[in-house]
Structure 1
């Protein structure tokens, strides 16, 4: 018997059925910083998600792509986890790949990115992916729980939800 994959809403029209590219760098993936946490959370949600970092081959057994161009026709949402100065060609690269949405994490969005996205028809989502994670049983101690208190949550597989 084949189990039907359950689809959960995330932010502003993004669901767990979307395919994602998480852009970080070697340090943000290897030292389990934000890019790694976002990538792991999306994987836990059951999403198809690709890590992207130039100087990294593999992380936790998964292939890491050197750039988003390697993901042509594979992703619908790009999730940048680097500061804007490291993402100069983000919008033009996303547009050339046919990406429909960029989900800007805290401190990655700029007005310039917004204007570029508007001009090429890419939808902008703002806010942390981790706000949609169910932080059981320690939810009250996790800042992402409080920041995303009213956001849709994806049930945790670990705690039978």
Structure 2
């Protein structure tokens, strides 16, 4: 059974990939990445073009990660999410957080049909317990 918008479940994960991580400090891809790193989680930045973010190696896609994360945060346009979700199924990753603006009806339906737990229409930096995620950049 798919868990929809179960933020409490996502607060337990310690290994994350941030798809859409950015080396640009003003971008949410940077802020979310740094928030998770700052809380002590294992975090893999994913970006198609960047090579490094603050000394962290950046991966071009989730298939190239050195290990399977427990959850993925998407900070990409909605028309780019479906290929990532398809890769998640291939890699047996079953948890995704859609940062506001990255979700689409098609992506949500894909999650439901493929047993992917998801959070949508919630910001990972604002809508979870402060002791777990909030961190000033």
> After TM superposition, is the score higher than 0.5?
yes
2:130 alignment counterpart? 153
1:14-70 Cα shifts (integer Å, max 9, x gaps): 12543111011xxx6122201110000001111111000111111100000011101
Tell me, in whole angstroms, the C-alpha distance in 2 between the residues paired with 1:100 and 1:92. Answer: 11
Query: Is contact 2:13–2:71 with CA below 8 Å preserved after alignment?
Result: no
Gaps of 5+ in 1: 1-9, 132-147
Q: CA RMSD in A?
A: 2.2
Please state whether the residue corresponding to 1:49 is helix, strand or coil. strand
Aligned residue-pair number: 128
Match of 2:87 among 73, 93, 105: 93
Normalised TM-score (structure 1): 0.72
Indicate how the Cα distance of structure 1 residues 66 and 157 shifts in structure 2: closer, same or farther if over 3 A, else same: closer
Ranges of 4+ aligned residues in structure 1 off by more than 6 Å: 155-158
**Higher RCO structure, 1 or 2 (CA under 8 Å, sep 6+):** 2
Alignment of 1:137-152 (within 5 A): 148=127, 151-152=128-129
Gaps of 5+ in 2: 1-5
Normalised TM-score (structure 2): 0.83
Query: Is contact 2:46–2:58 with CA below 8 Å preserved after alignment?
Result: yes
1:30 alignment counterpart? 23
